[in-house]
Structure 1
Amino acid sequence: MPMLVALALGLWGIRRKNSMWGDESVTYQLAHRSMAHIWRTVQHVDLVHALYYTLMHGLFRLFGGELLTLRLPSVVAMSLAATGVGLLGRRLAGPRVGLLAGLVFPLIPQIQLYAQEGRSYAMVCALVTWSTYLLVRTVSRPSRVRWCAYGLAMLLAGLLHEFAILAVAAHGVTLLVSGVPRHVMRAWTVAACGAAAGLLPLAVFSAGQSGQVAWIAWPHPVQLLGLLAMAVVGIWCAPSPVTGRGPISLAALALPILILPGLVLLLLAPIKPLFVDRYVLYRTIGFALLLGAGIDHAFRRPPTGCASWAVAAAVLASLVPVSMHLRTPQSRHDDVVAIGRAVRQSARPGDGLLYLSGRHRVWTQARPQDTRVLTDLALAQDAVSSDTLSGTELPAQDIAHRMRAFRRIVAVRDAAGAHSDITAQELVKHRTLERYFHECTTKNVTGARITVYARDDVPCPGQESGGTDQR
């Protein structure tokens, strides 16, 4: 049943009105490149996602590179994760808790969000779930094969996203507080060290690309409140009197995986902010297990049974508008399809095209037909031939010279108030626009602004006959 619920929720509105956000667009573009191009690109950028891009490249070759192919692997992965959560709950606390935990998991808004996303986080969540299940089984019945399978599952999760290795630390805390025999602890240490050693080369080489996470700032207060709320609910549910098989209790397993990964990233924030909720999405495994046990305990108490049903109905009702919003383009930071459409509608054949900043070129590369009639004024070498995400740009003076040769320029830039890059190329773009051009129109789309500029001696559309355009 958890698998069916997760599948149904994942397939519901999976196209999001045919929208695609920026990170998905990167997956879409790189997975369409040849393996040689992917390998050369990840040597410069996005090495941490190399395995995921390789997997998606294979799926695109087999099933076609369409929007459904981009997102269906995440739907399947979350369905497998829901199944794993149900089995964990069943083994640790009995069938009722297993069913409830498995049903709670796909209802969590974060899980619904990333179950429909063309990124690696759902796959990581599934691998951590099943490696956790392997750990619980192996502690009860140790064998070399099971320990090897556990280590391999954690290694694959780490190769898909490095921060999955924090789940191994949570597993270590679980074993310590559970008082497992020394030979079990030694075997886990070998498996954990094997996974960490296999991940070490990726960690070393990807450290040279740390500029990619320079955008991460201190966690937003809303994120911190969400993290704290899940931890409080989990701790409140932890004392639920549940019994299961084996030396590991549900609370001993669920609390560390719920709290530890996010806490580690928060503690590192003064040195280097790295906390992003999707990086430790698998912590929801612990939350679902604890909440499933808490719900089971509440429904087993006759005096509060009716109240529990009322609370459950209210929570489910409150999730409906959230779930509906998650299936709209506005639920993501940006929408590259809407951005490309706005560029196409604003442009005239022969106009110049300017990206402020150049990294935003990824917004329109997934749909090149939207910019086919325009001239990219700053582009020196396109993304594919340069083995980059957004291509390389001309020197600043060349960009200024090319801009002055055009009568109209369509500029693609961040939403109002967003941070802008400070480079020589970006500075000269802004200065040239301010000195030689005036703004005609601006369209605001999800996550971006599309502005048409005209030379100072060129009237804006609607002004040729004395009218004005005040949009």
Structure 2
Amino acid sequence: MSVDSAARPSLRPPPVGDAPQDRPVGASARRALVWSVPVLWTVALGLWGLSRQGSVWRDEAATWQVARRCTADIWHMLGNVDVVHGCYYLLMHTLFAAFGPGITTLRLPSVLATAVAAACVAVIGRRLAGGWAGLGGGMALALLPAVQFHLQEGRPYALVAAGAGVSTLLLVTALQGRVRRARWAAYGGIVLLCGLLNWLSLMILPAHAATLLWTRAGRAVWIRWAGASAAATACVLPLILFSRSQSAQVSWIPPLTWHMLIGPAVLLAVGGVGALVDRPRMGQLSVAAVGLPLLVVPHVGLIGLSLIQPLFLDRYILFSLLGLALLIGTLLGSAVRAVTSRSPRLSTWVVPVAVVAATAALLPQSLAKRSPASRVDDVLAVASEVRRLAQAGNAVLFIPSARRDTKSVSPDAFAGLRDIALAESPEESGTLKGVEAAPERIRTAMLTQERILLVTDAPEVARPVSAERDRTKTAVLEQHFTAVADEQVRGRRVTVYLRTTSPR
């Protein structure tokens, strides 16, 4: 029978170390340690190698170049491309204006957001399964490989994860009987902000609905949750509908295949073990009731959407890994209880030893993710090569035109070079890569040059040339020019061409 959560004291397990009525003086300090230690741990992991040896890859280059534009230019661009990231670009524009453009400004928001997510995992775990489960889950989050990747990424996915953590904590608070209108307003506001940062984050709502079903939440909770969720969804809906007109931007995502499901299957298996160890019961608020839907529902939802239109990228549902971290925390909490029954003194070492062992096991991967080689390319490294090879008055070409992001991020490196294919700059055209002239005009312009620098992808990451403009550039270079210098660095390539034939 469904009952109001406020009438179920069983849904409010006391934190480890807290007596039901008279809490010891140090209880507050111990509770603070449960979330503060994961926060400091996450920040430390985030600051470790934050610059990735001074590299910035193409996705972050989009953030960098848009954040440096004026607000009017950003709004102009959002009408044409990347409207799904508009809220994030405006946030980064504000931060760049306040602190100056730089790698630290670009990535530090993701570090701090992941720390917030870790704190939320720790608090939820402590409330539902005890202090060790909370501490273990909070520490585990930042060690997950996908989280380590986006922990130092100048993109919005870590911010969405933080919002997912806060909204889930607010939901748990409501289910523990602390139902207030202000909390539900905050819940709806956080879900709205996450939806504006990435509307696929709205898949957290069916995950939370599953938690409400599992715990047999009362009518009052359902009504307030539905109202907050509906309001947030209604506000995000215009963005969803408008972004459909820009769906060509994700046309590069490959169709879903069976091998792409191996990773999610492993994550779900680990989460399933954690849920079983938690011994979940219908009608009871537990880590399994919160963490398992948070992990499973977004994965199933994204797989379903990808059967209609290819969208399967794990970063879109990075927030689901908060559920995995919660369930890992339950495994660690159970291990502590098992050891406590035999050796209470040794039990305090279970979580620290597990964290150290996991850190050591993941160290090669952690080092790799802090290397420039962890990303497909580096726009700053190739800009340095352009600066070294360029001569005043030379022309420059980009294949494909999206490689113009190097110029947008490092305009000083291209000072004195003429972008002969460009008809409208990215700012003027309201795009990320600008608008290039017609193929014949590009051919004519190329044949008036003596020395051309070509910026393109390194062969190992380059895609076949398909655009007519790019085929024209390639054909003219092959027929009338000779390569005299060729440098490849971190996924990008700069080739210097000298003309060897006279124009017809």
TM-score above 0.5: yes
The partner residue of 1:332 within 375, 384, 393 is: 375
Shift in Å, 1:288: 0.4
Q: Structure 1, residues 321-345: CA drift from partner, whole Å, max 9, x if none? A: 2212221211112111111112223
Contact 1:124 1:164 in 2 (8 A): yes
The TM-score normalised by the length of structure 2 is 0.86
The partner residue of 1:193 within 221, 230, 235 is: 230
Write the letter of the residue equivalent to 1:278. R
Q: In structure 2, how many angstroms separate the alpha carbons of the residues matched to 1:195 and 1:92?
A: 27
Shift in Å, 1:32: 1.3
Q: Does 1:124 align with 2:168?
A: no
**After the TM superposition, which residues 68-87 of structure 1 pair with which residues of structure 2 at under 5 Å, given as runs?**
68-87=104-123
SS in 2 for 1:269: helix
Q: In structure 1, how many angstroms separate the alpha carbons of the residues matched to 2:238 and 2:433?
A: 26
Alignment correspondent of 2:272? 235
Alignment correspondent of 1:136? 172
Shift in Å, 1:223: 5.0
Write the letter of the residue equivalent to 1:249. S
SS in 1 for 2:432: coil
Q: In structure 2, how many angstroms separate the alpha carbons of the residues matched to 1:109 and 1:214?
A: 26
Please identify, of 194-203 and 267-276, the stretch whose mean Cα deviation from structure 2 is larger: 267-276
SS in 1 for 2:252: coil
Q: Does 1:16 align with 2:62?
A: no
Write the letter of the residue equivalent to 2:251. A
SS in 1 for 2:163: helix
The partner residue of 1:102 within 126, 130, 138 is: 138
Alignment correspondent of 1:30? 66
Alignment correspondent of 2:4? none
Contact 1:240 1:294 in 2 (8 A): yes
SS in 2 for 1:238: helix
Write the letter of the residue equivalent to 1:177. W
Q: Does 1:4 align with 2:47?
A: no
Q: In structure 2, how many angstroms separate the alpha carbons of the residues matched to 1:241 and 1:257?
A: 15
Alignment correspondent of 2:191? 154
Contact 1:93 1:243 in 2 (8 A): no
Shift in Å, 1:43: 0.9
Contact 1:265 1:273 in 2 (8 A): no
Write the letter of the residue equivalent to 2:393. G
Please identify, of 213-222 and 162-171, the stretch whose mean Cα deviation from structure 2 is larger: 213-222
The partner residue of 2:480 within 413, 436, 439 is: 436
Q: Does 1:419 align with 2:455?
A: no
Q: In structure 1, how many angstroms separate the alpha carbons of the residues matched to 2:290 and 2:88?
A: 28
Q: In structure 1, how many angstroms separate the alpha carbons of the residues matched to 2:258 and 2:413?
A: 38
Shift in Å, 1:221: 6.8
C-alpha spacing 1:242/1:269, structure 2 compared with 1 (3 Å): closer
Alignment correspondent of 1:322? 365
Shift in Å, 1:222: 6.7
Q: In structure 1, how many angstroms separate the alpha carbons of the residues matched to 2:398 and 2:388?
A: 16
Please identify, of 438-447 and 359-368, the stretch whose mean Cα deviation from structure 2 is larger: 438-447
Percent identity over paired residues? 40
SS in 2 for 1:107: coil
SS in 1 for 2:308: coil
Shift in Å, 1:219: 5.0
Q: In structure 2, how many angstroms separate the alpha carbons of the residues matched to 1:74 and 1:184?
A: 32
Shift in Å, 1:85: 0.8
Unaligned regions of 5+ residues in structure 1, if any?
A: 459-471
Q: In structure 2, how many angstroms separate the alpha carbons of the residues matched to 1:211 and 1:359?
A: 14
C-alpha spacing 1:105/1:157, structure 2 compared with 1 (3 Å): same
Write the letter of the residue equivalent to 1:168. L
Shift in Å, 1:17: 1.3
The partner residue of 2:395 within 342, 349, 352 is: 352
C-alpha spacing 1:41/1:68, structure 2 compared with 1 (3 Å): same
Contact 2:128 2:285 in 1 (8 A): yes
Q: Does 1:294 align with 2:331?
A: yes
Q: Structure 1, residues 224-266: CA drift from partner, whole Å, max 9, x if none? A: 322221111110111124799x942211111111122122222
Q: Structure 1, residues 101-121: CA drift from partner, whole Å, max 9, x if none? A: 111111212222212111111
Contact 2:130 2:333 in 1 (8 A): no
Contact 2:84 2:197 in 1 (8 A): yes
- Aligned-residue Cα RMSD (Å) equals 2.3
Write the letter of the residue equivalent to 1:356. I
Q: In structure 2, how many angstroms separate the alpha carbons of the residues matched to 1:241 and 1:67?
A: 41
Shift in Å, 1:143: 2.5
SS in 2 for 1:270: helix
Write the letter of the residue equivalent to 2:199. E
SS in 2 for 1:44: coil
Q: Structure 1, residues 158-189: CA drift from partner, whole Å, max 9, x if none? A: 10111110111111111112221233222212
The partner residue of 2:426 within 370, 378, 383 is: 383
Q: Does 1:366 align with 2:409?
A: yes
Q: In structure 1, how many angstroms separate the alpha carbons of the residues matched to 2:133 and 2:368?
A: 29
The partner residue of 2:212 within 175, 180, 184 is: 175
Unaligned regions of 5+ residues in structure 2, if any?
A: 1-36
Alignment correspondent of 2:262? 225
Write the letter of the residue equivalent to 2:161. C
Q: Structure 1, residues 184-236: CA drift from partner, whole Å, max 9, x if none? A: 22221221111110100111111111111111113577753222211111101
Q: Does 1:448 align with 2:492?
A: yes
The count of residues paired between Structure 1 and Structure 2 equals: 457
Alignment correspondent of 1:63? 99
Q: In structure 2, how many angstroms separate the alpha carbons of the residues matched to 1:411 and 1:220?
A: 35
C-alpha spacing 1:363/1:372, structure 2 compared with 1 (3 Å): same
The partner residue of 1:248 within 243, 260, 285 is: 285
Contact 1:379 1:392 in 2 (8 A): yes
SS in 1 for 2:142: helix
Alignment correspondent of 1:469? none
Alignment correspondent of 1:397? 440
